[in-house]
């Protein structure tokens, strides 16, 4: 077989365990302060490579800037948000996640950190969002992020949707079932993950 018949690593998807959560915590600037075992296992980095690094270390080039702009606008306002994100592993493979971004405050009401809890994105949602992201990325590349942003908000306006209702629509779920998607049962499963910290430490 010719070498070119093999897919390049960047074209290969990492299959995620649908019951496990990929979790990370950052400071207010998006610098990684903590990531769980499953995060490390999937992205292929070790703790010492990730801690203290900006979160864009796993940014995939197929992700449009507009989505992160929207994410940060919401986080700065202290609003939680869900997003479908394509991430890049160390070896060039990719994985799609549905991410729940959450803001944490101290007792004085100041934002102190952000949490991201991710689960495998549903196949049908990837199909829809990938098409949109390709369009946004093409507009960003040929025009600008501002033009792509106007297009995105124009699209939402035409559909009579907010970003949040648009995401629910893409996922084809209600607000309450979206919350259940990140239920506590999954965390228990995550903690019993055989490829946990100790196993990786001693393997």
Ligand X SMILES: Cc1cc2nc3c(=O)[nH]c(=O)nc-3n(C[C@H](O)[C@H](O)[C@H](O)COP(=O)(O)O)c2cc1C
The contact set with ligand X (CB under 6 A) reads: 24, 26, 30, 55-56, 58-59, 63, 65, 68, 75, 85, 87, 101, 114-116
CB of 143 to ligand X, least distance (A): 17
CB of 19 to ligand X, least distance (A): 19
Residue-wise DSSP of 48-63: HHHTTSBGGGGB-TTS
Collapse the DSSP code of 202 into the 3-class scheme (helix H, G, I; strand E, B; otherwise coil) and give the result.
helix
| Nearest CB to ligand X, comparing residues 65 and 90 | 65
| Nearest CB to ligand X, comparing residues 87 and 186 | 87
The alpha-helical segments, DSSP class H, found in the chain are 37-43, 47-50, 65-76, 123-142, 145-159, 163-171, 175-181, 184-191, 197-202
| Nearest CB to ligand X, comparing residues 12 and 59 | 59
Using CA atoms, how far apart are residues 192 and 140, in angstroms rounded to an integer? 42
| Nearest CB to ligand X, comparing residues 27 and 174 | 27
CB of 200 to ligand X, least distance (A): 20
Beta-carbon count within 10 A of 149 CB:
19
């Amino acid at each position: 077989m010719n070498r070119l018949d093999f897919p390049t690593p960047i074209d290969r998807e990492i299959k995620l365990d649908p019951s496990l959560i990929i979790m990370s915590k950052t400071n207010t600037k998006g610098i990684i302060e903590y990531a769980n075992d499953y995060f490390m296992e999937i992205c292929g980095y070790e703790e010492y490579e990730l801690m203290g690094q900006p979160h864009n270390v796993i940014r995939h080039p197929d992700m449009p800037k507009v989505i992160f702009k929207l994410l940060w606008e919401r986080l700065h306002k202290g609003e939680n948000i869900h997003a479908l994100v394509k991430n890049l592993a160390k070896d060039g493979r990719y994985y799609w996640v549905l991410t729940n971004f959450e803001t944490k405050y101290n007792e004085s009401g100041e934002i102190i950190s952000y949490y991201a809890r991710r689960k495998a994105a549903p196949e049908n949602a990837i199909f829809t969002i990938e098409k949109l992201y390709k369009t946004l990325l093409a507009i960003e590349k040929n025009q600008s992020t501002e033009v792509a942003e106007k297009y995105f908000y124009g699209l939402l306006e035409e559909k009579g949707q907010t970003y949040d209702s648009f995401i629910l629509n893409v996922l084809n779920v209600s607000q309450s079932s979206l919350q259940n998607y990140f239920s506590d049962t999954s965390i228990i499963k995550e903690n019993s993950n055989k490829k946990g910290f100790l196993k990786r430490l001693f393997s």
